[in-house]
Amino acid sequence: MIVLPGQKVADAAQPGQGVFIEDNKTYASTLAILRDGRVIPQKGQYKPLVEDFVVGLVKDVQFNGYHVDVNAPFESFISNRESLEEFKAGEVVSAKVVEVNELHEATLSQPRKFPPGTVIEISFVKVPRVIGRNGSMLDMIKTATGTEIFVGKNGRIFLTGGNIKLAIKAIGKIDAEAHTQGLTDAVKEFLEKNKENDA
Amino acid sequence: MSTTNPPKPLFREDGKRLSGREDTDLREIKMQVGIFKKAQGSAMAEWGKNKVVAGVYGPKEVFPKFLADPYKGIIAARYIMAPFSGAEEHGRAGPNRRSLEISKVVRHVFENNVLLQEFPKTGIDIQMEVIQSDGGTRVTAIAAASLALIDAGIPVYDIVTPISVGKVGGKMVVDLDKDEDNFGEGDLPMAFSLRTGELLLWQMDGLISRDELEDGLNKGFEAAQKVRVVQEAALKEKYGDFNGSDTGQN
Amino acid sequence: MVLILDKIKAEEVKALAAKGERLDGRGFKDYRDIKVDVRPLQNPEGSAMAHFGDTKVLVGVKVDLVKPFADRPTDGVISVNCEFTPLAHPAFEPGPPKEESIELARVVDRAIRSAEVLPLAKLGENPTEDGRVLGVYVDVYPLDHNGNLTDAASLAAMCALKNTIVPKIEGDLLIRGEDGGKLPLQRQATTCSFEVVSGNIFVDATDIEEIASYGRVSIGVTDDGFLCAGQKSGAAGISRDKLLELADLALENRKFLFSKI
């Protein structure tokens, strides 16, 4: 059931993503789905959380580290101490969020440059769907395409090798249909049908 | 405002307004969400002959940096009328005093409506372009902007529902068109958060009594419910084929 | 731009407001001392300076012969402008009018125009042979911004219009210095502005109270009891009932305000 911003979703205070509390009642603040009494936002901005693995774009080089764009409206930083590797502006790296302050600004660690490949972006709210329960959806795509795929919590996805085009299309399908039932089966069918076409 | 121009008779002999509408009838309103690729959120509102497109960028970095608020996001709203938007001669491109004032009061609407505390030090840009005007452009712009913000996934406390009310031929009527705006006795653009009933926009020009103000506010609130239906339909059309049920697999 | 010290004082204002008090000890509905100097200047055709406590706003009115608007050849022209000169407050910067001064000018203009204080048809009654009509320019000049510029401006503007002496018109020429009579005013209008501070409504706010405020409602009222202008500014939302309360309060205050001019 689709929920619009301003709509009441609970008669008690139930804090979480995509909602706000007023007078001890919970209301949606973004477009969301109500499923099993849970509010699942369909839109939003990524806010870095400690332990998240993200795909970042190095924005600029400072004397003590790097400013990294993680597709969030907040600053992220990698200190020089984190790695002997040097990065240049415009390079794509994977990293782990180790600290976040009250302004949602993140400190990243374990930066690693990606090998040559492709980076695509989807809304971060769809990431759980791309990964699937216990990684099942992602494994299915990897197996069917032979592509190496790294899914950042921030909605950025790195792909290399194999049938990249098919992998991207499959992810695009999940992004567009994340809210539907039977998605896993639909993607399975899609991959099977198109395996030969896009090789 | 009435002047030496002979006031146009704004009511017909059958008591209806020139457009054929009753006092509380709205013009036809159509809205669409997510119409542009580049803007993070977008919407178009067609209200009578008015056409306004709205685009939202953000939350994003604020430039110049000293304008950023360390405690919450800031809103920049820009209302502009395209030089070809009016029915008469070519207008001038760019903002004028009227559009600057409107930009300001529209900004205030969304300062109250967006959960700004979730985005400290960032900014949200709301651009509203009037591409065709026929009385009620600011109200049309707000209707579109509210949907554009939601399309961008920016958290808000409610959909903002605007409406104009005015005094025409001695009566309070809803949704003024251009002639009624120019030749009537009063114009009250307003915008509600229908959830709380609060006004986020209220302006007035004209000469009315205190009781007429009350009548106008109430008529406006009633009519806003109908506008809300169109806004919700536009959102559901774009996002609403959610047929997730309780047994939906993940 | 808000000065640091003002911001700190504004926090004090909010705290006091929650306890039912104001910094200067006034009640929420009380005005500061109001005084309006009538015709302090000789060069403008009309002038007035309004003092609301320490706030001082000067208004000058100039009358000229102007080309009417193309679609209204027998209507006079009224134009209200406001200049926030850096003299009035350390945060005012030189340059083209910013949105606050534009908003103030337009709200004052709205009150005067909607109330038909000066009917345009009367102003344009006797066009010259070459089709020019009377144009009245109202220029609002805050000199000392200590809050509530809007109300001080509209009261000063009303007073200035009342004491404006129209220059004599002979043929196509305007002869300044010669008395051609007063403006054909038909009623009086002024504004009453309210600030929302910690959920309370303040009348005649100081500049610090304005910083502490979450929103403002300005309501134009006429001497014969009508509402002629409205502007909700700032982020605060307001219920219909509260708005009507403010309208009632504005109407109540008008006698006091008009008594000053």
Quote the domain boundaries for residue A7.
Answer: 2-41
Q: Is A123 found in the same domain as A179?
A: yes
- Per the structure block, which two tokens stand in for B123? 């900014």
Report d(CA A119, CA A172) in Å as an integer: 13
Average pLDDT of the segment spanning C72-81:
93
DSSP string, B195-215: TTTEEEEEEEEEEE-HHHHHH
Q: Is A182 found in the same domain as A135?
A: yes
pLDDT at B241: 60
A199 domain-assigned: no
Report d(CA C65, CA A54) in Å as an integer: 69
Using the 3D structure, point to which of A65, A97, A113 is the last residue of a domain. Answer: A113
A72 domain-assigned: yes
A123 domain-assigned: yes
CA distances from A135 to A132, A149, B163, C156 (A): 5, 12, 49, 72
pLDDT at C215: 95
Q: Is A28 found in the same domain as A60?
A: no
The verdict on a CB contact (< 8 Å) between B97 and C97 is yes
Strands of B50-61's sheet in order across: B29-33, B41-47, B50-61, B122-132, B74-81
pLDDT at B90: 77
Residues in C touching B204 (Cβ below 8 Å): 110, 114, 220, 227, 229-231
Sequence-separated (6 or more) residues with CB below 8 Å from residue A160: A114, A115, A116, A117, A118, A147, A148
- Residues of chain B predicted below pLDDT 70: 1-7, 241-250
The verdict on a CB contact (< 8 Å) between A31 and B235 is yes
Which of A:85-104 have CB within 8 Å of B?
102-104
Report d(CA B213, CA B203) in Å as an integer: 11
pLDDT at B2: 42
Q: What is the DSSP letter of C97?
A: -
B9 domain-assigned: no
Instruction: Give the relative orientation of helices B97-113 and B137-151 as an angle to the nearest 10 degrees.
Output: 40
Q: Which helix (H) or strand (E) holds B126?
A: strand B122-132
B13 domain-assigned: no
CA nearest to C163, candidates C179, C182, C135: C182
Residues in B touching A41 (Cβ below 8 Å): 153
CATH number assigned to the domain comprising residue B209: 3.30.230.70
Backbone Cα Rg of chain B = 19
pLDDT at B139: 98
Which SS3 state, helix, strand or coil, does residue A4 take?
A: coil
Residues in B touching C187 (Cβ below 8 Å): none
B14 domain-assigned: no
Q: What is the DSSP letter of A76?
A: E
Report d(CA C12, CA C20) in Å as an integer: 12
CATH number assigned to the domain comprising residue A96: 2.40.50.140
The verdict on a CB contact (< 8 Å) between B120 and A104 is yes
Residues of chain C that touch chain B, judged by Cβ-Cβ distance less than 8 Å? 71-72, 74-75, 97, 99, 102-103, 105-106, 110, 113-116, 119-121, 124, 215, 217, 220, 222, 225-240, 243-244, 247-248, 251
Report d(CA B220, CA B185) in Å as an integer: 17
Decide which of B191 and A115 is more confident.
B191
Report d(CA A65, CA A83) in Å as an integer: 10
pLDDT at B91: 77
**Location of structure tokens 């069918």:** A189
B117 domain-assigned: yes
**Location of structure tokens 């009245």:** C136
Average pLDDT of the segment spanning C232-246:
95
Quote the domain boundaries for residue B123.
Answer: 29-236
Task: For residue range C142-183, list pLDDT tens digits in order.
Answer: 999 999 999 999 999 999 999 999 999 888 888 888 888 999
Report d(CA C41, CA C47) in Å as an integer: 6
Tell me how many domains chain A contains: 3
Phi, psi of B130 (to 5 degrees): -85, 115
Q: Work out the pLDDT band at A36, boundaries 50, 70, 90.
A: confident
Secondary structure of C197-233 in HEC code, one letter for each residue: ECCEEEECCCHHHHHHCCEEEEEEEECCCCEEEEEEE
Residues in B touching A181 (Cβ below 8 Å): 243-245, 247-249
Shortest CA distance from B109: residue in chain C: C235
Tally of helices (H runs) and strands (E runs) in chain B = 4, 9
CATH number assigned to the domain comprising residue C231: 3.30.230.70
Q: Which of A5, A27, A74 comes nearest B150 by C-beta? A: A5
CA distances from C199 to A28, C19, C196 (A): 25, 11, 6
Q: Is A186 found in the same domain as A124?
A: yes
B243 domain-assigned: no
- Start-end of H helices in chain B: 97-113, 137-151, 178-183, 210-239
CA distances from B127 to B51, B106, B190 (A): 14, 11, 19
B150 domain-assigned: yes
Quote the domain boundaries for residue C128.
Answer: 4-259
Average pLDDT of the segment spanning A182-188:
88
Burial class (CB in 10 A: 0-12, 13-18, 19+), C5: exposed
pLDDT at B14: 84
CATH number assigned to the domain comprising residue A182: 3.30.1370.10
pLDDT at B248: 29
Among C75, C100, C101, C232, most B C-beta atoms within 10 A, so best to mutate, is C232
Tell me how many domains chain C contains: 1
Q: Are B109 and B191 in contact (CB under 8 A)?
A: yes
Average pLDDT of the segment spanning A16-20:
92
Tell me how many domains chain B contains: 1
A24: region left, alpha or beta (phi > 0 left; psi from -120 to 50 alpha): left
pLDDT at C70: 86
C222 pLDDT more than 80: yes
Residues in B touching A44 (Cβ below 8 Å): 153, 155
Report d(CA C115, CA C244) in Å as an integer: 19
Average pLDDT of the segment spanning C113-126:
92
Q: Is A89 found in the same domain as A128?
A: no
Strands (E), chain C: 34-38, 46-52, 55-66, 77-82, 133-144, 165-170, 173-182, 189-197, 200-203, 215-222, 227-233
The verdict on a CB contact (< 8 Å) between B244 and A45 is no
- Cβ pairs B/C, distance under 8 A: 116
CATH number assigned to the domain comprising residue A34: 2.40.50
The verdict on a CB contact (< 8 Å) between B239 and A42 is yes
Whether chain B has a CB inside 8 Å of the CB on A160: the answer is no
Among A53-67, A95-109, B136-150, the range with the most confident prediction by mean pLDDT is: B136-150
Q: Are C59 and C49 in contact (CB under 8 A)?
A: yes
Residues in C touching B188 (Cβ below 8 Å): 230
Backbone Cα Rg of chain C = 19
B245 domain-assigned: no
pLDDT at A179: 74
Shortest CA distance from B41: residue in chain A: A43
Shortest CA distance from C217: residue in chain B: B202
CA nearest to B26, candidates B8, B46, B53: B46
Average pLDDT of the segment spanning C30-45:
94
The verdict on a CB contact (< 8 Å) between B207 and C217 is no
Q: Is A84 found in the same domain as A122?
A: no
Whether chain A has a CB inside 8 Å of the CB on B63: the answer is no
Which SS3 state, helix, strand or coil, does residue A122 take?
A: coil
The verdict on a CB contact (< 8 Å) between C238 and B199 is yes
Q: Which of B120, B193, B250 comes nearest A103 by C-beta? A: B120
Angstroms from C42 CA to nearest CA on chain B: 30
Q: What is the mean pLDDT of chain A?
A: 90
Strands B74-81 and B122-132: parallel
A2 pLDDT more than 60: yes
CA nearest to A158, candidates A95, A94, A91: A94
A178 domain-assigned: yes
Report d(CA A11, CA A17) in Å as an integer: 17
